[in-house]
Amino acid sequence: QRANKRPLMSDLRESGAIEQDADAILFVYRDEVYREQEEKERENKAKAEGKAYQRLFIPNPMQENAEIIVGKNRNG
């Protein structure tokens, strides 16, 4: 797994000919999704070790940002 979770064109390699046939490819990336997953993993690890855990990241859906990444734009 790569540290930077932003989608790349190479993520489409096994999806048939989408990468070659598409005129435009857009990706949506939300950092909060991955931050929340990492927080849950840390919390579960602490619980398994019998340690107390205080959440560092509390998701707030009203303030989440999303990035639109243009992976391909054939016509400019």
Summarised one tens digit per residue, pLDDT across range 4-55 is 899 999 999 888 888 889 999 999 998 888 888 888 888 899 989 999 888 7
Half-sphere exposure of 74 (CA within 13 A, CB side): 8
Q: What is the pLDDT of residue 33?
A: 84
**DSSP count for the chain of H helices, then E strands:** 2, 2
* pTM (two decimals): 0.68
Do 34 and 1 meet the contact criterion of CB atoms below 8 Å apart?
no
